[in-house]
Amino acid sequence: MISVVKQANFLRTAIVLALLALGCSRQEETPEAKARNLLVICIDTLRADRLGSYGHDRDTTPTIDGIAARGMLFERAFAHSNWTVPATASLITGTLPSAHGAGVPGEIKHYDERFLLDIRRSVPTLAELLQEKGRRTAMFSANVNLQGGFQRGFDETVVDLVDAISLTEKARDWLASYPEQPFFLYLQYIDVHEPIWPPANFRNLFPTEFGEIPQSEHSHWLATPDNDFDSEEIERFRRIRLSLYDAALRFVDRQIEKLLRDLRLAGTLEDTLVVVTSDHGEEFWDHAKLGLELGGDPRGRYGVGHGHTMFDELLRVPWVMMGPGIPAGVRVGCTVGHQDLLPTILPLLGVEVPTALPGQDLLATPMLLNADHCDTPPVIAESPAHGPDSKAMIWQGKKLIVRNDGVKLLFDLDRDPGERENLAPSQREMVEQMASLLEAELAQIEVSDEPRPMLFDEEGIEQLRVLGYVE
């Protein structure tokens, strides 16, 4: 029997050769553009299973579901980190956290105590690549973390803690200001992130049996001092919290509908590639007990929020897209990562894919259309915000989680999608083989410069405090 590592090496060699051949053809001839414009919508802190198109039984995302129906949906899409800074940096650069460098330094992560590192200057962003080709570019983000290198390549940036209505209005005004120029617009909504408090007309869309929702209790996370995860109070809070989360998501979906309507009325939607995704997910006590058992979080906070574990509720994200060159009504069941976004969309925009990018053009990978033959490369996640430095690798239906405090977890995602049964104690050989593959993948990354600190002004620090990043 061929070992996992040998199988992986054979697979990686075949993929690299294929990508090199593809890259050579792109160097010889610039790809013909199919899409004139690009709209990327990142809904901060959105886990995949709360969308109707991903199986949720609440009508949270009719607009996004419509995008999926008219285009492609990736059922097993993963972020490359469990919180905003490294995950969004991977999204807009097509590289892993080890390559772009953005995040919290140190072996024990603690956002409260350490400065943030910015994206390496040597790593180009999507906005820079498109700006160089003459597209007008803008970023409107309601998450203040997108400072410094995140803004490279944008002609206009507004980073401010505002709700979905305000963010969308800024985007609509910008789109209307130069209607004839090809554009790249990046939006990052924050409404499903703590504190969650959607407008009154959305707040009770998905009522619970507990009656009216008190804002003081439920807009921010609640964690009992004794971490009694079986208490009735925790279950009550969890259900109400999920209802608020779903309501806030429906609120964002409504604003996306308005934005697409503007593009349709302006006659530009048919020329626009639309991508909707998230930077990472959110935990609602999915693994609270295991998190407490494993320990290591310097905040003593388990089971809620993000930035602390590598389970699917934090790493699995939605990814749908439609537009020129995108086949309609396609659902892809193979594992993909955000590093595949740039290699997939750049050819559609007539832009060469930098040869250094590790991802693959998903539209040029026929095997993705058949979930029974998903021989895709491993997807890696890194760089938490809190606790022991951790890494995860998703490959061939398995997930390995490795923490620098010695903890190793192995899950069979096909058989155990909730990640309840840790197979590491009984499958030590598999753990070691996958760990070797993970190390080999990361060892291929070469960097030429060190990341610099990201600086925030007093207003930015206050907004970080409102979002729960600092105390």
pLDDT digits (tens, 9 = 90+) for 237-275: 888 889 999 999 999 999 999 999 999 999 999 999 999
Q: Kindly state the average pLDDT of the residues 432-453.
A: 94
C-alpha distances (whole Å) from 198 to each of 114, 166, 219, 459 are 31, 13, 9, 23
For residue 289, the model assigns a pLDDT of 92
Q: According to DSSP H, which parts of 81-231 are helical? A: 84-93, 97-100, 126-131, 164-177, 200-203, 215-218
Minimal CA–CA distance to 184: which of 400, 432, 350?
A: 350
* Predicted model pTM: 0.92
pLDDT digits (tens, 9 = 90+) for 133-145: 999 999 999 999 9
pLDDT digits (tens, 9 = 90+) for 150-200: 999 999 999 999 999 999 999 999 999 988 899 999 999 999 998 888 998
Q: How far apart are CA 56 and CA 246, in angstroms?
A: 10
Domain ranges (residues) in the chain? 34-466
Residue 417 pLDDT exceeds 50: yes
Report which of residues 359 and 465 the model is more confident about. 359
Share above pLDDT 90 across residues of the chain, in percent, rounded to a whole number: 72
Residue 435 pLDDT exceeds 80: yes
Q: Kindly state the average pLDDT of the residues 321-340.
A: 95
Contact partners, residue 84, CB within 8 Å, separation at least 6: 44, 143, 145, 146, 279, 280
CATH fold for the domain made of 34-466: Alkaline Phosphatase, subunit A (3.40.720)
Q: Kindly state the average pLDDT of the residues 354-383.
A: 83
Residue 282 pLDDT exceeds 50: yes
Share above pLDDT 70 across residues of the chain, in percent, rounded to a whole number: 88
Q: How does the average pLDDT of the chain come out, rounded?
A: 89
Residue 222 pLDDT exceeds 80: no
8-state DSSP, 271: G
Please state which of the ranges 100-104, 405-409, 446-450 shows the lowest mean pLDDT. 446-450
Q: Kindly state the average pLDDT of the residues 435-440.
A: 96
DSSP sequence for 6-55 = HHHHHHHHHHHHHHHHHHHHHHHSPPPPS-SEEEEEEETT--GGGSGGGT
Q: How far apart are CA 327 and CA 71, in angstroms?
A: 6
Residue 224 pLDDT exceeds 90: no
pLDDT digits (tens, 9 = 90+) for 82-94: 999 999 999 999 9
Please state which of the ranges 28-42, 381-395, 448-462 shows the lowest mean pLDDT. 28-42
For residue 24, the model assigns a pLDDT of 36
For residue 7, the model assigns a pLDDT of 41
Contact partners, residue 468, CB within 8 Å, separation at least 6: 194, 195, 220, 221, 305
